[in-house]
Amino acid sequence: MSIFSKKTAIPQQVEDLCKKRLSRVIERANGEEITLGGKGGASVCGGELVIICDGKEVFRCDIKGMTAAQLMSGNGCDIKGFSGGEKRHIIAYYGKNI
């Protein structure tokens, strides 16, 4: 028996998201798009995806119940998951990597 727990499998789209800068993050709710922030990044911490924009945490969800897909345009990632006990749908757009 190992003292280390098994690592949670991280979807490829989330790994790609964590390697890029984000230009903006929006949330889709009730047929509207709400801007959560700009100039940020994403990381995986303790089995959760955490997105920070403008120095504030704007989204956090457990990877196990999350779905993520790259946008057809290739300039962002569509994420659906539970955050704060409610189902949320966000889109994180990639910034330019310089």
Report domain 12-87+90-94's class.
mainly beta
Q: Give the residue ranges of DSSP H helices in 1-98.
A: 12-18
Instruction: Read off the pTM.
Output: 0.83
Looking at this protein, which amino acid is placed at residue 48?
E
pLDDT of residue 6: 54
Using a pLDDT cut of 70, give the percent of the chain over it. Answer: 90
Per-domain boundaries in the chain? 12-87+90-94
55-71 burial by CB neighbour count: b if 16+ within 10 A, else e? eeebbbbebeebebeee
pLDDT of 2 higher than 50: no
- CB neighbours of 71 closer than 8 A, spacing ≥ 6? 77, 78, 91
Please say whether the beta carbons of 28 and 91 come within 8 A: yes
For residues 89 and 80, is the Cβ–Cβ distance under 8 A? yes
- Residue 4 has a pLDDT of 47
